[in-house]
Amino acid sequence: MILSNELTSLKLPMSVHSFDTKGLPAGLRPRVSRIVNDFQSVYGQTPHFVSRSPGRVNLIGDHIDYVDFSVLPMAIDADLLCAVGVLSTEDIPSITLINEDPKFAQRKFDLPLDGSDISIDPSVSDWSNYFKCGLLVAQQHLKTQFPQKFQEAPLAGMEMYVSGNVPTGGGLSSSAAFICAVALAVIRSNTSSNYKVSKQVLTQITVKAEHYVGVNNGGMDQAASVCGESEHALYVEFQPQLKATPFKFPELQNSEIQFIIANTMVVSNKVETAPTNYNLRVVEVTVAANVLASKFKVALQRTGNLEKGTLREFMDAYYSRYHGVSEPWDGNAEDGIIRLTEMLHVVEKSLTQQEGYSVQDAATALQCSQQEFARDYLTNFPVRFEALKLYQRAKHVFSEALRVLLALKLLTSRKSEGDQRFLESFGDLMNESQKSCDTLYGCSCPETDELCRIAKANGAYGSRLTGAGWGGCTVHLVTRDNAEQVRSALANQYYRKRFRNMPSEELREAVFISKPAQGSCLFEI
């Protein structure tokens, strides 16, 4: 199978035969040989192929992908490899999963013989659930591509050996890396080696995979994991269609831009905390969009990521009604900056700031009963709350979307600026993003704040949480010249203080300099 880029602007052949290894991390070849050997020793035969998908770090733009505003992540070297042996069609189609890390216990199960969907129980937290998510979306893809073959027949069975080095619960998207590698593996196991799947399609089919384990996520992680390019940040747009455009970091005169990733070591289990954290935020921004729509007497299109409408749709509807601009925002940065700035004024003057909205308040604002409100907004995914902070959440979303556009402008029109000016301006945007995540979105934590404080005091230009937050990882903008100074300050003032005897190997995994890496790929063995 070839993972082609035909539908995106990215170039990278994905079959090992025409493999450009330049963009891949130096450590990958030995790891691929090792996983092939490990597969042989546990399954007694050579795997047919190895699929790979990396983790990601988001430079700026958190908690806005699910309302369809653009984000700026990059794939990282840490990744997930799946070595796969495909069972013959005569065998009972079963799946065996073995993970190199013994904390993920071996799993084995049969696939439904009639081609029906495999069941996933989101109330059970188990690594095989993520496998099943990847399998399910790949199966749906195969059913639409080859209905005669897959509509009522089982998928091929697989023996899989998994090896990953993306920290779990660390905000670097180990879940997306696993799901994307699995989806790629399932498609490869059930098609011929010249079947083509584009990166855009692989991203599209994996975007909603985690919904099956109960997380109402957006599409940033999958886009970054699949479409990553070495030396480039990715500008990921979700509307009018999914598009990942690589941008090279500007070259500095005597130095180089680098990013440090530092893990708070506070593990945030997204599935368990979703009712008060992630999914609740999705509800809050959805209610905010509808309250604003009702105040300004506009209708939301409801054609975007969220069934009940997004803040981006509110922006378009408002613009159409009050400025006579019926075309939705097309992603143009200048136009976006004007529209988002106006949205911030709109939020300021029309949403209640203080206590937030009770169910009663929200129902009144939406002119519906409390029961109708609960039915429409609170049932798809479980949530728990006392008050919905509509003002704070909407203000974060519009200001964060604005910062992404300002960051993009800096990346693309830097020539006239000096290096120092660029670093400071980009860093300021990251710092403002952190402040907004903390004070308006409530997704930071004391450990994140501490890492950001230490990094900035020791020369980082910008520091922020990355990904969902509530723990997990932080990202810091540095240059080649001061990277070591910032890294060792973090090591001494955070890790060595809190975890007295942290082995140096673990320290290297907790705080490291990261380069943009290549996205998903497949090695035929």
Residues annotated as part of the active site: 221
Question: Which range binds Mg ion by CB under 5 A, 91-99, 169-177, 260-268, 342-350?
Answer: 169-177
Q: 47 contacts which partner out of Mg ion, ligand NG1, none, CB within 5 to 8 A by kind?
A: none
What does the DSSP assignment read for 372-400? HHHHHHSSSS----S-B-HHHHHHHHHHH
400 binds, among ligand NG1, Mg ion, none (CB under 5 to 8 A by kind): none
In the complex, minimum distance from the CB of residue 268 to ligand NG1, in angstroms, rounded to a whole number: 8
Burial class of 501 by CB neighbour count within 10 A (0 to 12, 13 to 18, 19+): exposed
**How far apart are the two ends of the chain, measured CA to CA in Å?**
12
Residue 236 contacts ligand NG1 per CB under 6 A:
no
| Residue 402 interacting with ligand NG1 (CB under 6 A) | no
Q: Does 467 bind ligand NG1 (CB under 6 A)?
A: yes
Rule CB under 6 A: say whether 217 interacts with ligand NG1: yes
Question: In this structure, how many other beta carbons lie within 10 angstroms of the beta carbon of residue 299?
Answer: 13
Question: Which residues lie closer than 8 Å to 215 by C-beta, 6 or more apart?
Answer: 270, 271, 274, 278, 279, 381
Q: Which residues in 64-103 contact ligand NG1 (CB under 6 A)?
A: 65-66
Which DSSP state fits 448?
H
Q: Applying CB under 5 A, which of residues 8, 99, 128, 175 lies at the interface with Mg ion?
A: 175
Pick the stretch among 173-181, 192-200, 334-342, 477-485 that binds Mg ion (CB under 5 A). 173-181
Q: Is residue 175 within the footprint of ligand NG1 (CB under 6 A)?
A: yes
Mode of pairing for the β-strands spanning 2-4 and 196-198: parallel
**Phi then psi dihedrals of residue 463, to 5 deg:** -145, 135
Burial 389-426 (b: 16+ CB within 10 A, else e): bbbbbbbbbbbbbbbbbbbbebbeebeeeebeebbebb
Q: Does 176 bind ligand NG1 (CB under 6 A)?
A: yes
Q: Compare residues 252 and 445 and give the one whose CB is closer to ligand NG1.
A: 445
Q: Where are the alpha helices (DSSP H) in 2-99?
A: 28-43
Q: How far is the CB of 175 from Mg ion (least distance, A)?
A: 4
d(CA 7, CA 445): 40
Determine the interface stretch with ligand NG1 among 42-50, 78-86, 167-175, 484-492 (rule: CB under 6 A): 167-175
Q: Report the alpha-carbon distance of residue 127 to residue 104 in Å, rounded.
A: 7
Residue list 413-452, contact with ligand NG1 (CB under 6 A): none
Nearer to Mg ion, 230 or 466 (CB): 466
By beta carbon distance, the residue nearest Mg ion is 175
Instruction: Give least dist CB 211 to Mg ion, A.
Output: 12
129 binds Mg ion (CB under 5 A): no
Residue whose C-beta lies closest to ligand NG1:
467
- Show contacts with ligand NG1 in window 44-63 (CB under 6 A): 58, 62-63
Q: Does 468 bind ligand NG1 (CB under 6 A)?
A: yes
Contact flag: residue 181 with ligand NG1 (CB under 6 A): no
* Strand positions, DSSP E, 205-313: 232-237, 243-248, 257-263
Q: Give the closest residue to 66 by CA, choosing from 234, 227, 259, 222.
A: 222
List the structure tokens of 58: 């988001």
Quick one: DSSP state of residue 328?
P
Q: Does 220 bind ligand NG1 (CB under 6 A)?
A: yes
Structure token digits, residue 239: 């509307």
165 interface partner picked from Mg ion, ligand NG1, none, CB below 5 to 8 A per type: none
The footprint of Mg ion (CB under 5 A) covers 175
The footprint of ligand NG1 (CB under 6 A) covers 58, 62-63, 65-66, 171, 173, 175-176, 210, 215, 217-218, 220-221, 270, 467-468, 472
